[in-house]
Structure 1
């Protein structure tokens, strides 16, 4: 059965299509991303602006068209931090539904953490024991721990790489830096700005650590582009080596990466192998989130997981569908 998930995140809108079979590996057949950065289209009133909503409608319409051409039997649409936190979240999803026919389910932060945990559990299997799953998105940071496929503790914090990068940019301007996009691209934050962000991260993460430690874990997974890029910069295998190559990131290696990228402006950072152009201005902030989290949790090494929220949504959908061995030529489910 061909399934699709449309993930509306803080930075991108990502369509992933897989062929799913009962008790089989969900083979990816199509993946495309559109960079919208919805989190940066939020106005002073806390609402996503009209231009942002229009861009989202156009992107979702294009994704639906691609899903239809690919013969997707069921398309699940989900929206995370940017839409979830917007003052006009309900109006946004209603507009998308009316214009495109695609229903976007707004995931709570806890549900986002649970679905990401499910993906990590399926990827690493039962041999991982009690698993702690970490995921740094554009708007939020998810942590979940447990022994089964449902975590015993699932937490979402508003500490995504994009959100924290905005804090750094604000401090950059207050410290006398050029606040324009060009100025930010060609400069690095001050030591004081980095120190302030570290303090804020510690204050936000420390309170949830006892809940996670009470459950405990045998292994730690880390998903998201931020963790994958940091691992690559620390020496992990490149993407072209395939998803089954083991990749890890140590806290010592992460600290070395931070000391390196800390002094490289985003415009130059984007030229490094493994760093996406649209990610460069958020990478330092995401690295600080990762480093503070690992430090507070006492984690020395994480295993990089190629699966995350989108795969969790698909796995949940596949589990709920009892006709996985039959192909359908009709768009059903969340497209109606």
Structure 2
């Protein structure tokens, strides 16, 4: 398939786990317009620019990422906006060679040319997806995405039954990683972190696969442990935890594992949200592994209840689950989900004709709305799930397994508020790489670029 190439600008540490994919894998949808989403997550996608003071105010409110989950979509115009790295989210994607867009970038005051900025990269090879982000630092705590790639590879297909990565699954992943390698090779990367998660972590032949990737794609992947995965997910979603929050349970429902972090910010808050993790766990179950064990195409209410109970049993053994007991009943406590499950439910909730990250990322859903969406998807048969534009063929057999994991989590930490994050590990990696490198301290003095 033809790969998408585009320069994209983005913000903080955003996008996550396994977002829903449109049908067609990495095939682009031509002509889709990208516009900066207002911070509250309910932008209307209008790329027209207001004038005068209204324009200035709106520019301050804007700045979320709008690059597509399966690659980068071309922009329809409008000025890109920088966003916080702990705030995350690309803003406007620009096709290479788009001189009008480049001129527009040049008009931004005190902005160093992209070619003069250090380039950082983050790659996340999960059980279901292969994703890459390449970015340069912006204002303190912010970055701009200049390239992105995502493809569903289902590396963990069959893993729960055999304990090994299958040949076809490894072949798909290697082909996607070759695309990532080409993108990295064409840029002068200052620092990169290339990670692999649960599929490679648990497979008997995971290390052999990592060696094959190095031989054939020229990439040396790092298999991270579950604690690191949980921390990076938190780092990627920092901007979605508002200042008046007391506590958050952040969960990342992946393909082969689900990370849960309990975050206490009731007493103070440091710049790195990950510093406030008081307890965490990683369940060795995700949408792919759960669907393979219980079935994902035909899911009766009895099967769904069995899936929920399976996950609930695992959560009962989590000793640190009560570490936020002092804030769970507070209106300043909420759940924060970064995964394809929650982004899918958000898209269904919004009745989107096409998945739109600008409207989903940062969206608040109340408990009644979540209940209604789970019930709606549970009432659909496989073909109805395939037909929904926010689910599609790639996730129709996985979405109910994700809903079961979500329901088990909600039962342990009941909350009337769920915030949806279309961001995650890659944004967390970029944010940490840039902070550790000190680029924001070196390049900015008194609020201006040096």
Alignment TM-score, normalising by the size of structure 2:
0.63
CA contact (8 A) 1:5 1:314 kept: yes
1:45/1:156 CA distance change after superposition, 3 Å: same
**1:154 has 2:280 as partner:** yes
**Unmatched 5+ stretches in structure 1:** 173-183, 327-336
Farther off after superposition, 255-264 or 279-288: 255-264
SS in 2 for 1:118: helix
CA contact (8 A) 2:343 2:360 kept: no
Distance 1:236 1:107 in 2: 37
Distance 1:165 1:245 in 2: 25
CA contact (8 A) 2:336 2:419 kept: yes
Cα deviations across residues 163-203 of structure 1 (Å, max 9, x unaligned)? 2111221xx8xxxxxxxxxxx4xxx3233322221221221
CA contact (8 A) 1:249 1:303 kept: yes
Cα deviations across residues 247-288 of structure 1 (Å, max 9, x unaligned)? 123332222222222132233212223224311211111111
1:245/1:96 CA distance change after superposition, 3 Å: closer
* 1:229 corresponding residue in structure 2: 344
1:157/1:104 CA distance change after superposition, 3 Å: same
The 5-angstrom pairing of residues 84-233 of structure 1 reads: 84-124=201-241, 126-146=243-263, 147=265, 148-150=273-275, 151-169=277-295, 184=297, 188-208=298-318, 211-216=320-325, 217=327, 218-233=333-348
Superposed displacement of residue 97, structure 1: 1.9
Q: Of residues 145, 166, 174 in structure 2, which corresponds to 1:49?
A: 166
Distance 1:276 1:236 in 2: 14
1:227/1:44 CA distance change after superposition, 3 Å: closer
Relative to its length, the structure with more helix (as a share) is: 1
* 1:278 corresponding residue in structure 2: 394
Distance 1:140 1:191 in 2: 23
1:6/1:41 CA distance change after superposition, 3 Å: farther
Superposed displacement of residue 234, structure 1: 2.3
Farther off after superposition, 288-297 or 48-57: 48-57
CA contact (8 A) 1:133 1:221 kept: yes
SS in 1 for 2:227: helix
**1:3 has 2:120 as partner:** yes
SS in 2 for 1:92: helix
**1:76 has 2:196 as partner:** no
| RMSD (Å) for aligned C-alpha atoms | 2.6
**1:242 has 2:367 as partner:** no
Distance 1:107 1:241 in 2: 27
Cα deviations across residues 63-111 of structure 1 (Å, max 9, x unaligned)? 1102233554333211111111101111111221233331211111221
* 2:80 corresponding residue in structure 1: none
CA contact (8 A) 1:45 1:87 kept: no
1:314/1:246 CA distance change after superposition, 3 Å: closer
Farther off after superposition, 93-102 or 103-112: 93-102
SS in 2 for 1:128: coil
* 1:25 corresponding residue in structure 2: 142
SS in 2 for 1:40: coil
1:142/1:72 CA distance change after superposition, 3 Å: same
Number of residue pairs aligned between Structure 1 and Structure 2: 309
Cα deviations across residues 96-151 of structure 1 (Å, max 9, x unaligned)? 12333312111112211111112222443544343321111111111102234321
Distance 2:239 2:200 in 1: 27
